[in-house]
Amino acid sequence: MKNKGMLIVYTGCSGVGKGTIMKELLPRNPNLRLSVSATTRAPRAGEVDGREYYFVTPERFDEMIAEGAFLEYAKYAGGSYGTPKEPVFRMLDEGYDVILEIEVKGFLQVKQACPDCLTIFIAPPSFEELEARLRKRGTETEEKIAERLKIAEKELKSQDQFDHVVVNDIAQRAADEVLSIIAAEKNK
Ligand code: 5GP
């Protein structure tokens, strides 16, 4: 697969602050585009269909799998999440660098399909801090928080498989680092 743009996998545990960093990245690099995933999980307050996610039924998600519509997909904490293939390839072909904000199982699939992609893992300063951030966000029940922390423990063990690990101590600083990594990769 030869594209004009660069494919970037951006991964990190739930609550680590990926979204906050992302809000800094997009306005500061006009050549970046964020892929909008499909999910079966319910929208959180303030989330808009087609902006944060395409919110679909489990039946529609299965249809999309059968249609071969996904570049990758995975189950996470009881929900299904997948990257629609067509818009990603279109944006790459148009010359944009495309970010996939996905979890570790999806990262492994993309790495297999597109070994040249740039992969970045956003890590918390500590596990305790991750737990505190997830609680502070207040979007999940205690049960869901516990489930997400259990997944996070596993995901943190995969960070060595990424090209770069960026610690999200301060979102602004972490965003600067991610932008430098992308710029350096473009100049290679
Ligand atoms: P959340 O429910 O907090 O929005 O997302 C849960 C996890 O699913 C996060 O780690 C997020 O990065 C990941 N995720 C979001 N979209 C996708 C996707 O299309 N594919 C995969 N594999 N993971 C995704």
- pTM for the complete prediction? 0.96
Q: Of 16, 72, 31, 34, nearest to 182 (Cα)?
A: 31
- Ligand 1 mutation target, pool 103, 110, 155, most atoms within 8 A of CB: 103
CATH number of 7-186: 3.40.50.300
Query: How do residues 92-145 score in pLDDT, each as one tens digit?
Result: 999 999 999 999 999 999 999 999 999 999 999 999 999 999 999 888 999 999
Q: In the chain, where are the structural domains located?
A: 7-186
Residue 2 has pLDDT above 80, yes or no: no
pLDDT of 188 over the 90 cut: no
Residue 111 DSSP code? H
Look up residue 181 and give its amino acid.
I
Residue list, ligand 1 pocket, CB within 6 Å = 14, 37, 41, 72-74, 76, 81-83, 101-103, 105-106
